[in-house]
Amino acid sequence: MPREVLSPEEPVVGKHERTDVERLVADRPSLRDWTDLRLGWWGFVRKNLDEPMPAGVGWWQTLGNLLMTLLAFQFVTGLALAMFYSPGTESAYLSVKHINEGHPVGLFVRGLHVWGSTLIVCITVAHVLRVFFWGSYKKPRELTWLVGVLIFNVILGFSFTGYLLPWDQKAYWATTVGTRIAATLPLIGHPLMVLIRGGEEVGALTLTRFYAIHIMVLPAALVAFTGLHLYLVRRHHIAGPVVAQKGPPVKFYPNQLFKDAIVVLLGVGILAWMSLGMPPSLEAIADPTGTDFAPRPEWYFLGMYELLKIMPAGWEIIATAVVPGLVTVGMILVPWLDRAKSRHPAYRQWIMVSGMAVILMIGVMTLKGILETPPPHGHHASATTSSAPPTIARE
């Protein structure tokens, strides 16, 4: 017998002649009925578990769930790290060193957080590409796509702000260059850089700013956007394969959820394996005067880094703002740029070609950056006129 869903609007009492069992439930409700009458929780859960999946939905649609899981894990590992981390120029490096060396699982937890961020970027890209090639952003799902693009940018923001926190050489120099990019904008460039850094140079206030953004602003934005994204996914349902397949819709639970669980298991397994096998490094403490360190951003920003190399003098704004800006705006506008009625890639040729050109460009530039390690003139700095430069202490 199907279980009756209780709701405050339609109380069971008085609707019809009650059976003895119903009377017992009403007079002495179980904890589940008692809470359900007040929260409507089981109805909500049931509705989501019974969500109809069009025939043909399968493994490709598991990426969203994996992303959610990995993002939730970032909150958990981030919370643990925040309990040991101290965002000061004197203490940040020491506290991360302590996380790495002071406790047997500290390094593993940091590894989960660091590799988790890399994995999230990879899965997000795969998720975006799946939606792009399937044309799932078409009416009425334009806003679902738009909010997804915002989430993607929030994730990149997490990566950029988190990179500085260990306050090692890599962190300091990548942020020095990264924040300087803002200064290439006309008119507002320099004030914007000072605002981001909290001063003219990368220092104590840059660290506290980035930390505040990393643990407060971006998580709040992520929760809000993800909530909206999920609401929209449920409101408009899964788009299904490009060519409708025969067969009735299947409920989300248990078939699709099982596939999701397998992919989550695999993803988290890979994450744990990476964290154990490749513990995150910590380089020498940030040294603003060091001339023996060639700054390199995180690998997924290497495409932009390489683009900067080929821009002629005075045109760096093309690489710092115009190209990234056009890609972002282009991504946001995809549902409106693609006017084809069909979702089939064969009928969406120009958007497919444009999309693949952008993907190829980013891919080639990123690969170029990865292969050129270390970059030219990367090491050995010294003033040839003096092998041991004098250091003047001024008190």
Partner 1 sequence: MCDHNCEKCRENEAEDPKKRKFLAWSVGAINLAVLAGIFTPVAGFIGSPLKKKEQDDWIDVMGEHELGEGETKEVRFKAKVLDGYQTVTREYVVFIKKYPDRVIAFDPACTHLGCRIQYKGDQKKYLCPCHGGVFDEDGKVISGPPPKPLVTHAVKVENGRILVDRRAGSAA
Binding site for partner 1 (CB under 8 A): 88-90, 173, 176-177, 180-181, 184, 191, 194-195, 197-200, 203-205, 208, 287-291, 293-295, 305, 308-309, 311-316, 375-386, 389-395
Nearer to partner 1, 74 or 366 (CB): 366
> Residue 340: which H helix or E strand, with range?
none
Whole-angstrom Cα distance, residue 321 to residue 382? 34
Nearer to partner 1, 177 or 352 (CB): 177
Nearer to partner 1, 9 or 395 (CB): 395
Shortest distance in whole angstroms from residue 86 CB to partner 1: 13
Whole-angstrom Cα distance, residue 118 to residue 112? 10
- HSE of 243 in the Cβ direction (CA atoms, 13 Å)? 4
CA dihedral 305, 308, 309, 315 (to 10 degrees): 180
Nearer to partner 1, 291 or 349 (CB): 291
> Residue 135: which H helix or E strand, with range?
none
- Which of 153, 142, 93 lies closest to 300, judged by CA? 153
Nearer to partner 1, 294 or 332 (CB): 294
Whole-angstrom Cα distance, residue 383 to residue 395? 25
Shortest distance in whole angstroms from residue 179 CB to partner 1: 8
Shortest distance in whole angstroms from residue 361 CB to partner 1: 18
Whether 260 and 252 have beta carbons less than 8 Å apart is answered as: no
Whether 185 and 179 have beta carbons less than 8 Å apart is answered as: no
Which residue's structure tokens are 């002495």? 28
Nearer to partner 1, 52 or 290 (CB): 290
Nearer to partner 1, 221 or 264 (CB): 221
Nearer to partner 1, 191 or 269 (CB): 191
Shortest distance in whole angstroms from residue 183 CB to partner 1: 8
Shortest distance in whole angstroms from residue 372 CB to partner 1: 11
Shortest distance in whole angstroms from residue 199 CB to partner 1: 5
Nearer to partner 1, 187 or 243 (CB): 187
DSSP for 240-299 reads --SSPPSS--EEIIIIIHHHHHHHHHHHHHHHHHHHHHSPPP--SBP-TT--S------G
How far is Cα of residue 47 from the mean position of the Cα atoms in its chain? Answer: 28
Amino acid at residue number 136? S
Whole-angstrom Cα distance, residue 89 to residue 165? 10
- Token pair recorded at residue 75: 């909150």
Shortest distance in whole angstroms from residue 285 CB to partner 1: 12
Shortest distance in whole angstroms from residue 364 CB to partner 1: 17
Any residues with CB less than 8 A from the CB of 18 and at least 6 apart, and which?
A: 12, 26
Whether 84 and 98 have beta carbons less than 8 Å apart is answered as: yes
Shortest distance in whole angstroms from residue 322 CB to partner 1: 14
Q: Is 165 helix (H, G, I), strand (E, B) or coil?
A: coil
Whole-angstrom Cα distance, residue 286 to residue 368? 27
Shortest distance in whole angstroms from residue 123 CB to partner 1: 30
Nearer to partner 1, 132 or 172 (CB): 172
Whole-angstrom Cα distance, residue 298 to residue 316? 20
